[in-house]
Amino acid sequence: MVTQLWLIPAFPLAGFLILSLFGTRLPRKMVPLIGVGVVGVAALITIITGIDFLQHNTAGYFVEQHLWTWFSIGSFSPEMTLHLDALSLCFIFVITFVGFLIHLYSAEFMKDDKGYSRFFAYINLFIFSMLTLVLANDLLLLYLGWEGVGLCSFLLIGFWYNDSVDAEKNAYAARKSFLITRIGDTAMILGLFLLVKDFDTLNISTILNEAPNVWTANSSEAVWAAVLLLGGALGKSAQLPLQTWLPDAMAGPSPVSALIHAATMVTAGVYLLARTHVLFSLAPSIQLLVAIIGAATLFIASFSALAQHDIKRVLAYSTISQIGYMFLALGVGAWSAAIFHFMIHAFFKALLFLAAGAVILAVHHEHSMFKMGGLRKKLPVVFWTFLFGSAALASIPLVTAGFYSKDAILWYSFAGTNGSVWLWLTGIVAAFVTSLYTFRMVFLTFFGEEKTPTHYKPGLAIKIPLIVLGILSLVAGFIELPHNFGHFTPFSDFVSTTLPPVSLLANPAAGETVLQVLAGVLALVGVWLAWQLYIKKPEPLRQFKYGSGAGLFRFLHDGWKFDQLYDVVFVKPFVWLSKIDRRDFVDRIYGAVGFFNVAMNVVFSRTQNGKLRYYLLGIGIGAFIVLTIILAL
């Protein structure tokens, strides 16, 4: 099994190379065959590897495949080594399996696009980079993948950069996402420098083993390393205060939103924190900060989702909020709960984005939910799968996967030794809001009267991913039941070989069952309230929205005005500074270099007169001078 590990990232890479080099020359039918096929093969190998892995999985078990040494400077020699353990297996399973379904969907979704092969080339490169990220044995290799996915995200958000209507907006969104994640990436690379300084290596296992010996808990190095790595994770995972790029990233095609901005790339931060969990255990204050950031983000984002018109922006804010839950879980030390929620979230959020993409395609690229409605009868498959995904997002009790994963997080944030009532309270309020905005979206899109006629029926390549993910959104939660439901916890047993278990308070203030009932009732109340407000009696809310509550709606719609805040605090002063500093001294230096080059060009181009004898004279004089110098020395 060691020998086949490298094939998993190699196939998407091969797909990228073939499509980027020969994509436009290949017959159009071959493009999806290669683009989807390579990821399908990677998914198959992953499943075979996974089955093999499960038979050996005991505490601390991992598999490594050394490919080659990247480079060697003194004692620092990062390696190209793939590392497979329970944590990375979860991630590569989601990346290849969900990735394959999304590729399949794209084969039909992007069918009429000019950049068909370009799309598959980018998205294959993305799968390769993401696999590198999670399989890396070395933080430097992880960083390579980390930047790779950032690049693909940039390319795919701006995929329609020459769109006739939205070219400017799409390019702006791509730049924004790239620049804001770059802030996090800079913090992260500084963190890596710090680790190299103290450990002389970036090998993850070595660092995790030695960190408790080299650093004492709460020492300033440990705190700084944790803060800087957290900075990287915040940028990538769109958490406070770097969350503003994700809603704009919806400018990309829907499959991209599903794959990169919901299922995989934005959870890279969760992966990084889970992978380096030892460092965070050494810096408890930063771990608490992770929990607080997660709680604040999920709270803010879920309220923002409540006031959006664009169906994809609702889902974007909901993604920010759900990753907030994962950060909350990481912050309270419930590592396995975070990974569990990551997996379930990947299923239902990918499903929701894909279904939303199908809806948008059906109503002539209309994004506003208020112009949809009544699509239940027209798109039955999309409706039912969207309903399943929404139920999982709203964590409707007992029957959906989202209930089990979110319940675990809420329980640990309440009863874990690092948890607190406040974290739990934020989580449960946001869970209620989640259910409200989710079913607001469902009711506005699929119920009520029809406002835009549909002109499109999804084909098989769109239906199959929707159905598979729909089923998973319902049943995938059964692999990890809450403790009061009996001791059936295969998932946390599985990842416990890599991640430490969560420590619980001896006697928490309330029982798990009480909290579950509360969460379940709140979720159902949210659905009922959405039905009342948007279908039964929409009038009072409409009056509030355009009357006294207009300011509030505006505030929430703009994502708590973070963009405007950053615009005033950072962008405007920077633009102003660069304006007044247009002709500074440094510019003069570079200007002089340019001027000198131009002047020399004028002088030397005179000497090129085309007369052979002058050239020969030049050679002769040159040889004479050189000889004189040699003889004189």
Residues engaged in binding other proteins (CB under 8 A): 608-613, 616-617, 620
Q: Return the number of the residue (3 or 605) whose C-beta is nearest other proteins.
A: 605
How many C-alpha atoms does 116 have within 13 Å on its Cβ side? 23
Q: Return the number of the residue (25 or 613) whose C-beta is nearest other proteins.
A: 613
Cα–Cα distance measured from residue 22 to residue 31, given in angstroms and rounded to the nearest whole number: 10
Minimum CB distance to other proteins, residue 597 (Å): 22
Q: Return the number of the residue (565 or 616) whose C-beta is nearest other proteins.
A: 616
Cα–Cα distance measured from residue 47 to residue 115, given in angstroms and rounded to the nearest whole number: 31
CB 376 within 8 A of CB 447: yes
Residue type, position 132, single letter = T
- Taking Cα atoms as reference points, which of 222, 236, 221 lies closest to residue 287? 222
Q: Return the number of the residue (60 or 620) whose C-beta is nearest other proteins.
A: 620
Q: Return the number of the residue (167 or 616) whose C-beta is nearest other proteins.
A: 616
Q: Return the number of the residue (2 or 616) whose C-beta is nearest other proteins.
A: 616
Q: Return the number of the residue (579 or 611) whose C-beta is nearest other proteins.
A: 611
Minimum CB distance to other proteins, residue 630 (Å): 16
Q: Which two tokens stand for residue 613?
A: 């004898």
Minimum CB distance to other proteins, residue 612 (Å): 5
Place of tokens 């109340």: 525
Q: Return the number of the residue (501 or 620) whose C-beta is nearest other proteins.
A: 620
Which residues, listed in sequence order, are joined to residue 83 by a DSSP beta bridge?
64
Residue type, position 67, single letter = L
Cα–Cα distance measured from residue 204 to residue 220, given in angstroms and rounded to the nearest whole number: 20
Minimum CB distance to other proteins, residue 621 (Å): 10
Q: Return the number of the residue (525 or 617) whose C-beta is nearest other proteins.
A: 617
Residue 416 DSSP SS3? strand
Residue 633 neighbours by CB under 8 Å, 6+ apart: none
Q: How many CB atoms lie within 10 A of CB 497?
A: 17
Minimum CB distance to other proteins, residue 598 (Å): 20
Q: Is 420 left (phi over 0), alpha (psi -120 to 50) or beta?
A: beta
Do the strands 63-69 and 79-84 form a parallel or antiparallel pair, or are they unpaired? Answer: antiparallel
Minimum CB distance to other proteins, residue 610 (Å): 3
Q: Return the number of the residue (525 or 616) whose C-beta is nearest other proteins.
A: 616
Minimum CB distance to other proteins, residue 614 (Å): 9
Minimum CB distance to other proteins, residue 633 (Å): 21
Q: Return the number of the residue (213 or 605) whose C-beta is nearest other proteins.
A: 605
Q: 555-571 b/e with 16+ CB inside 10 Å = b?
A: ebbebbebbeeeeeeee
Residue 142 neighbours by CB under 8 Å, 6+ apart: 132, 133, 136, 204, 272, 275
- Taking Cα atoms as reference points, which of 327, 337, 347, 338 lies closest to residue 391? 347
Minimum CB distance to other proteins, residue 624 (Å): 10
Write phi, then psi, for 459 (nearest 5 degrees): -90, -170
Q: What share of the chain is helix, strand, coil (3-state, %, to 5)?
A: 75, 5, 25
Minimum CB distance to other proteins, residue 9 (Å): 52
Residue 71 neighbours by CB under 8 Å, 6+ apart: 77, 78
Cα–Cα distance measured from residue 112 to residue 397, given in angstroms and rounded to the nearest whole number: 41
Q: How many CB atoms lie within 10 A of CB 138?
A: 22
Minimum CB distance to other proteins, residue 631 (Å): 14
